[in-house]
A and B are shown apart, each in its own frame.
Chain A
Amino acid sequence: MSNIIELDHITKSFGNSVVVRDLSLNVPKGSIYGFIGPNGSGKTTTIRMIMDILYPDSGVIRIFNNVQTGIHLDRIGYLPEERGLYKKMKTKELIRFYCELKRVTDPSREADHWLAKFDLAASANKKVEALSKGMSQKVQFIITVINKPDIIILDEPFSGLDPVNADIIKEAILELRKSGSTILFSTHDMAVAEKMCDFIFMIYKGEKVLDGTLESIRKKFGEDTIRIQTEAGMNGLRDIGGISNINDFGQVQEIRILPETDDMLILKEIMSRTRIKKFEISSPSLNDIFIRIAKPDKTNNHE
C-alpha cells in the first residue's frame, strides 16, 4: 500500500516550547488512521501542519508524494476540533458556499443529497443559528466531505455528539473509506479508535510513542492484564502480591501483573478469598495503554 501522507522528522515550536519533536509518520492510502494523545500533546498542531495552515520548523511533509501540501487543498477535507459556521447564513446556502470553494460540480444537487442523507432536508432553509448543536455538527461534517476528498482529516469528529448522531457520522466515515478516501482522525474515545482504525498513532508531549496496528501495539505490551469479575469485587483483590495496578470498573476489575509473576498464583489467591464469575488473561486495552503512557507517574498506584 502506498503512502498518501508522509511526515518526515517534523519539528514545530511556538516560542521556546517545542510542540512537535522529530515526528515521522506514514499514512497508507485507503486506511483509517487514528490519532490519539492527551490534550496538548501536539495532535492539532500536527494536523494543522498537514493542512499547510502551519509550517514546520524543520522536516518535510508530503501529501500525494508532493512537498507543497497547500496546492492539494481541494483533495483534502478538514474538520477542525473547534469549528464554527456563519450563523446568519441559511443551511443550504452555507453548504453551497463550501461546495463552490471545494469546486463541486453541481453544488445544489450535492447539497440536497447530503442534507437528505443526514436527515437535515427540513432545515435547508433555516439559518444556521437556528440549528441544534448536533445538527450544526452534521452540517460541519457535510461541508468537510461534500467533495468526496481523497484525504479526510477529522479532529475530534465525535466530540459532543449523542450516540445516534455519532453513529451516523461513523457510518459516513466508513462509507467514505469504502469509496476510496483515506481517513485520519483524532479522538479521545479509545473504544472508537479500537473499533474503527486500521492504524493507531499516539503522540505524547510532541513525540511519537505508538504507531502501528492495534494488534501490533497490544502485542508490544504483552499479555499482562487480567480481567476479572468476582462476588467481592475490589475488596477481594486488596494486598495481593505481584499486582502493579488495578483498574476498577465497578462490575469488572482490570489487573496489571508485574513481570515474571505467575498469573495462576494470583488466581489461586483470589479463589481463596471469593467466588470468581469471570477470569480472562489478555493484552491491555488501548485505553489502558493510553493511561500507562500518559500517566507514567501514577501507574504504580491503584486507580
Chain B
Amino acid sequence: MNKTLIIAKREYRAAVKTRTFLISLILLPVFMGGGMLVFTLFKDKIDVSDKNIEVIDYTGQLGLDLKEKAEFWNLNHVLNEEGEKIAPCYNIILTEPDTAAPTEQKLNLSDKIRGKEIHAFLQIGRDVIHPRQGEEQSEMFYYAENAALDKVRDWISGNLNNRIRELRLQELGIEQERISDLFHWVNTEGMGLLTMDTKTGKVIDARKSSQLQTILVPYVLLLLMFMMLMMSAVPLLTAVMEEKNERIAEVLLGSASPWQFMMGKVTGSLAVSFTTSAIYIAGAVFTVNWMGLGDMIPYHILPWFFIYLFFNIIMVGSIMAALGATCNNSKDAQAIQFPAMFPIIIPLFFMMPVIIDPLGKLATGISLFPLWTPMIMLLRQSTSVTIPIWQPIVGLSGVMLFTIFSVWAGSRIFRSAILLQDKRPATKLLLKYLIKG
C-alpha cells in the first residue's frame, strides 16, 4: 500500500476508534441545531397568565372598542374545548388621560408595571383616526418591560388598526357588510417550477415552495460543510503541532517523506469527514423520509456536496497541516488558529444574503473565490433557483487549481518547518520556504 494511505489509515483509525469521536458525532449537530430545535419545540409554549393593561385613551372611543374586543377574546379564545387554558385573558382598564401632568401619569403607570400590578399600559393618541405626520397625538404607544417582543402588543395593534380602518370606512359611507371583504387578505402562494418527466413525457406540477425548505436545506448543507472543516481539517493544525512537539514527526520521517507524512494526515482527515458526513446525511434522509417530508431532500445536490467536501478538506487541511508544522507548542497553535480559521468562517456571514438572492452579483462573485466556492456555491446550488451550469464548473475548476497550489505550498512549508524547534517562523521566512522549498 502507498505510504500516504498507510499513514491515512492509521490517522483514520486513531480518529474514529475513540469515544471522543462518537460523542462529537452526537453532540455537534445538537450544538449546531440545538437553538433551532429548542425554538421549534417551545414556540407554542406561550405565557397564559392574565394580563392587566391600562389604556390612556385620548380619542375617548378606541379604548372602549378595545375593551369589547378583549371581552370577546376572553370568552372565545382563552379556553379550548376541553376547558384547558391556552391563552391569557386580557383585562383592559380604561384610565382618563391626565392632560395637566401626562408625564407623571405615565411614570406612575410605569411604577405599577415594575410593581407587577399591571402588565403594560397603552397610550392612544387623540388623532390616530386621522393622523398627522410627526405628531405624538397621531400615534399609539405601548409601554411594557419587554415591549418589543411582547405578543400583547401585536394583539392590541392588530385589533385597534382594524377598528380604525372600520371607522374610516364608515365615515366614507361604505356599508358594514362590505367591510369584511375589504379586509380579506389574499395570500400569494410561493410555487416552484413545473417540469417534464423525460421518460413519460408527463408534466409534473409545481410544488409549494415553503420558506422553511428554502432556508433550511441550504442552511443545513452549509453548516454540515462547515462542521466537517471544523472537525477534520482545522484540528490538523494542533495534531501536527503535537506530533512535532512529541518528536513523533522525526521518527515518522525516517520511514516516509514529508509529503507522504502531510498528505497521509490530510487523507486520514478526509476519510473521517466522509464517514461523518455520510452518517449525518444518511440519518437526515432517513428521518426526513420517516416524517413524510422526503420531497424536501435535494438528492441532486448530494454528489456536489461530496465533491466540494473532497477538495475543501484537502485544500484547508494542507494549509492547516503546514501551519501546524510551524508551531512548537500549544501557545503558538492558539495564536495562529483564529487567523487561520477566519477565511473559513467568512462564508457564514454571507449565508442569508446568498440565500435571499442566489443569482445576485455578490453571491455569484464570492462563490467563484476558490476558498469559499465549496461553501457558497453549494449554498447557491441548494436553493430553489437554477444556477447557470458554467458557474459550478468554473468554481470547481478554481477549487481544484487552488487545492493543487495549497498542497504544493503546504508541503514546502511543512517540510521546512516540521523539525524546526526554535520560535515560530515569521511570515517572511514562511515565504522563503514557499519559494525555495
Contacts and interface: CB of A to CB of B under 8 A. Distances in A.
Contacts of A79: 251, 254
A48 B418 CA distance: 12
A291 interface: no
B250 A80 contact: yes
Contacts of B340: none
A77 B254 contact: yes
Interface in A90-106: 97-98, 100-102
Contact of A101 (B6, B247, B250, B437): B6
B258 A53 contact: yes
B248 to A, nearest CB: 4
A134 interface: no
Given A84-B248, A85-B248, A98 B257 contact: no
A83 B255 contact: no
A51 B257 CA distance: 10
Nearest to B418: A53
Nearest to A147: B255
B247 A80 contact: yes
Interface in A61-78: 70, 73-74, 76-78
Contacts of A73: 254-257
B246 interface: yes
Contact of B254 (A84, A100, A144): A144
Contacts of B165: none
Contacts of B248: 84-86
Nearest to B257: A70
Given A48-B419, A73-B255, A84 B1 contact: no
Contacts of A82: 247, 250
Contacts of B256: 73, 101
Contacts of A89: 14
A140 interface: yes
Contact of A80 (B6, B254, B437): B254
A83 B247 contact: yes
A192 interface: no
A84 B6 contact: no
Contacts, number: 61
A84 B251 contact: yes
Interface in B237-265: 243, 246-248, 250-258
Contacts of A48: 419
B62 to A, nearest CB: 73
B207 interface: no
Contacts of B246: 84, 87
B257 A143 contact: no
A97 B6 contact: yes
Nearest to B264: A101
A85 B251 contact: yes
A51 B253 contact: yes
Contacts of B247: 80, 82-84
A80 B14 contact: no
A51 B251 contact: no
Contacts of B255: 73-74, 78, 98, 101-102, 143
Contact of B14 (A77, A86, A101): A86
B50 to A, nearest CB: 61
Interface string B7-29: 10010001000000000000000
B77 interface: no
A78 B256 CA distance: 11
The interface centre, meaning the residue of A73, A84, A87 with most chain B CB atoms within 10 A of its CB, is A84
A117 interface: no
B3 interface: yes
The interface centre, meaning the residue of A48, A54, A89, A101 with most chain B CB atoms within 10 A of its CB, is A101
Contacts of B257: 52, 70, 73
A83 B251 contact: yes
Contacts of B254: 51, 73, 76-80, 144
A83 B243 CA distance: 10
Interface string B257-299: 1100000000000000000000000000000000000000000
Nearest to B18: A88
A118 interface: no
A153 B254 CA distance: 10
A167 B335 CA distance: 45
The interface centre, meaning the residue of B14, B254, B257, B419 with most chain A CB atoms within 10 A of its CB, is B254
B411 to A, nearest CB: 13
The interface centre, meaning the residue of B243, B246, B252, B255 with most chain A CB atoms within 10 A of its CB, is B255
Contacts of B6: 97, 100-101
Nearest to B249: A84
A55 B255 CA distance: 17
A48 B258 CA distance: 12
Interface in B377-408: none
Interface in A18-53: 48, 51-53
B250 A83 contact: yes
Contacts of B7: 101
Contacts of B3: 101
Contacts of A77: 254
Interface in A212-260: none
Nearest to B421: A82
The interface centre, meaning the residue of B1, B243, B246 with most chain A CB atoms within 10 A of its CB, is B246
B419 to A, nearest CB: 6
B22 to A, nearest CB: 16
The interface centre, meaning the residue of B7, B248, B251, B252 with most chain A CB atoms within 10 A of its CB, is B251
Given A78-B253, A84-B248, A101-B3, 19 more contacts: A51-B254, A53-B253, A55-B437, A73-B257, A79-B254, A80-B251, A82-B250, A83-B247, A83-B250, A84-B243, A84-B246, A84-B247, A85-B251, A86-B10, A87-B246, A97-B10, A100-B6, A101-B6, A101-B7
29 contacts: A51-B253, A52-B257, A53-B250, A53-B258, A54-B419, A70-B257, A73-B255, A74-B255, A76-B254, A77-B254, A78-B254, A79-B254, A80-B251, A83-B247, A83-B250, A84-B246, A84-B251, A85-B248, A89-B14, A97-B10, A100-B1, A101-B3, A101-B6, A101-B7, A101-B256, A102-B255, A140-B251, A143-B255, A144-B254
Interface of B: 1, 3, 6-7, 10, 14, 243, 246-248, 250-258, 419, 437
